[in-house]
Amino acid sequence: MNGNGGAGTAVLARGLGKSYGAVPAVRDLDLTVSSGEIFGFLGPNGAGKSTSIGMLSTLLRPTAGRAEVAGHDIRHEPDEVRRRIGLVFQETTLDVDLTAGQNLRFHADLYGLPRREGRDRALTMLELMGLAERHSDPVRTFSGGMRRRLEIARGLMHTPRVLFLDEPTTGLDPQTRAVIWELLHQLREEQGITVFLTTHHLEEAEHCDRIAIIDDGHLVAEGTPATLKAVVGADLVVLRTGDDDTAVRTIRERFGLEAIAEPRGIGLRVSDAAGFVPLLCAELTIPVHSVTVTPPTLDDVFLHYTGRTIREIDDGGPQTKG
Amino acid sequence: MAPTEAPSKSATTAPPALISWSGSAHARHLRTVRVMWQRELIRLSRSPVGLLMSLLTPLMFLMVLGTGLNSAMRTAGNDADFRSYFLPGMLLMVVQAPAVNTGVSIVWDRQAGFLREMLVAPVRRSALITGICLGGATAATAYGALVLGIAGVLGITYDPLLFAPVLMELLVTTLALTTLGALAAVSIKRIETFQAVVGISMMPLLFLSGALFPVSGLPGWLNGAVLANPLTYAVDAMRRTLSDAGTGGGPHWWGWQPPVAVEMAFVGALALVVLAAAARRFSRID
């Protein structure tokens, strides 16, 4: 690993780990995120996502390994890292009694922006986030989506190289989510900002250039959404028939495939569903009500790597915050 | 770092330049202190109703209790104006709440999440907490100035020239109270525990300071507590500044009565030590 992480590397972690006493929260994390990338950190609650972001943003001290963010070591040059990163946390960190403009001004002051520049920057950012006309309104009156946008505006005030977002769209309605994603893509296109975000929404990970799946404190897979899905490889075919038992038997006898009961019918995995479905329908003598073909999703990828679906994990038992 | 303007939009190949630090490291720390100081004052101005309400109780004490006790003492053949005796104690009661509120605000900022916005900024945490404490002390002293002014209007006599020195003493005293609150706030994470600790510790601090009655009346075994209490010196210094009456009742170190300047230096030194401890605790990264 070279000293400054290389010009094209925004985040570089090697063997990064954090334990609380004997309990590891994150283990042996290796990450390389290129500049200008939208990188998604995917995992269930409690997998270690927030701990990882906490370490990369210098808020938590790693107990093992090392990392560089925007070319600076997180442990030895925390201030250099801090001025080059923007952070948007899972929970709001705005002063709701202040106006949008005052929140941004406080940020500008803390980050040592010259007064005039801070003012200009605040206006530009509010404009970008579609909040320009709410400049003088107290944050108390803002909706959840507006607050999130304001936090992103604030995180961008000091022209960071890397923007960290912890669960940026949690608790927002689909429409607002779409707006946020549009903004993130726009930021990457226009300013070349690296976006590093965590999510436990698999649909959201599709927006990322690259994703890493973290489960139980360690990285289980990494790659583009397409590559990861290609690993799973097979399409899911779901059939609704008049006689499921006969259908399962026929499929086993004719194709040597094991169909399993799905909530919506019977399901089976095949590598080329488009070619398989006509053959299947020709073989089945019983009535077929419907056939659906689903290409592999990130949920399948997650299942493949962890043996569980992300929803099973999120639904089960009490959790600690990731 | 080149002091370039950051364009809001530019091509992917040329990301916006990093905004330069303005000024030296020293100037930056001072700016951090100032920003935090300002925020504490803004917090004060946000709730003028709360400010007025918090003044009501001590003023009522001064007017009703002070006047009542005054006449009681007159009947008992004592000539001293109890209200004048009571004034430093009442000033303490007034500034206590806003000074400690600074600690509350730290705990509250942590609860609300706003603290993280400060923690992740590229600034010294010691500068953050120094600014917070100075802001809290300034706000609390402003309360004290208000009450001191009202007391003058209400006919509690003191030399107007003494206004400035008493305010200085109040500033040092409130700084000590604020740093104590801040130390508790950065050490205790749970808001309920913090409130309990502050609530429990404030009463004895006040009672064992001579603010409300002469400590000479207390049992001897409490003497150590009285002498260790910073408020003892603050009250005595203010009392001696405001009037010549009752100068003998203050704390003595092995038979020697420290002069006002020494008393205030003691309180100020304590404030600095506690501030350093709070800054140290605040700077620790988990």
Segment A187-204, tens digit of pLDDT: 889 888 999 999 887 778
Q: Which two tokens stand for residue B17?
A: 């330049």
Segment A215-232, tens digit of pLDDT: 888 888 899 988 888 777
pLDDT band at A11 (very low <50, low <70, confident <90, very high): very high
Start-end of H helices in chain B: 25-46, 48-60, 67-75, 82-112, 114-119, 125-153, 163-187, 191-207, 223-228, 230-242, 260-283
Q: Which residue has the higher pLDDT, B170 or A174?
A: B170
Question: Is B90 a residue whose pLDDT tops 70?
Answer: yes
pLDDT band at B7 (very low <50, low <70, confident <90, very high): very low
pLDDT of residue B53: 79
Q: Which of B1, B5, B12, B19 to mutate to test the interface with A (most CBs of A within 10 A)?
A: B19
Q: SS3 for A17?
A: strand
pLDDT band at A322 (very low <50, low <70, confident <90, very high): very low
Q: Which residue has the higher pLDDT, B209 or B11?
A: B209
Name residues whose C-beta falls within 8 Å of residue B12's C-beta, 6 or more positions apart in sequence.
A36, A189, A190, A191, A192
- Helix%, strand%, coil% for chain A, nearest 5: 40, 30, 35
The mean of the pLDDT values for chain A is 85
Q: What is the DSSP letter of A138?
A: B
Q: What is the DSSP letter of A242?
A: S
Q: SS3 for A199?
A: strand
Cα A165 to Cα A89: distance, rounded to the nearest angstrom:
6
Q: Do A87 and B120 touch (CB under 8 A)?
A: yes
Summarize the confidence of residues B123-141 as an average pLDDT. 94
Residue of B nearest to A8 (CA): B13
The mean of the pLDDT values for chain B is 81
- Name the range with the highest mean pLDDT among A65-69, A299-303, B150-154: A65-69
Name residues whose C-beta falls within 8 Å of residue B60's C-beta, 6 or more positions apart in sequence.
none
Q: SS3 for A65?
A: strand
A77 exposed, middle or buried (CB, 10 Å; 0-12, 13-18, 19+)? Answer: middle
pLDDT of residue A13: 94
Q: Do A159 and B18 touch (CB under 8 A)?
A: yes
Domains of chain A: 9-222 (3.40.50.300), 234-295 (3.30.70.260)
Considering only A75-79, A162-166, B108-112, B115-119, which range has the smallest mean pLDDT?
B108-112
Does residue A196 belong to the interface with chain B, where contact is any CB pair within 8 Å? no
Does residue B12 belong to the interface with chain A, where contact is any CB pair within 8 Å? yes
Instruction: State the nearest Cα–Cα gap between B120 and chain A, in angstroms.
Output: 7
pLDDT band at A39 (very low <50, low <70, confident <90, very high): very high
Q: Residue A113 — φ and ψ, nearest 5°?
A: -75, 140
Rounded to a whole number of angstroms, the distance between the first and last alpha carbons of chain B is 31
Segment B234-249, tens digit of pLDDT: 999 998 888 765 556 6
pLDDT of residue B13: 39
On chain A, the residues whose CB falls within 8 A of the CB of B18 are 83-84, 158-159, 161
Cα B237 to Cα B243: distance, rounded to the nearest angstrom:
10
Q: Would you say the C-alpha torsion B153, B159, B160, B162 has a positive or negative sign? A: negative
Which amino acid, one-letter code, is at A85? I
Please identify which residue in the block is written with the tokens 């669960």: A167
Contact (Cβ atoms closer than 8 angstroms) between residue B132 and residue B106: yes
Q: Which residue has the higher pLDDT, B271 or B88?
A: B271
pLDDT of residue A71: 92
Question: Is A58 a residue whose pLDDT tops 90?
Answer: yes
pLDDT band at B170 (very low <50, low <70, confident <90, very high): very high
Question: Is A306 a residue whose pLDDT tops 70?
Answer: yes
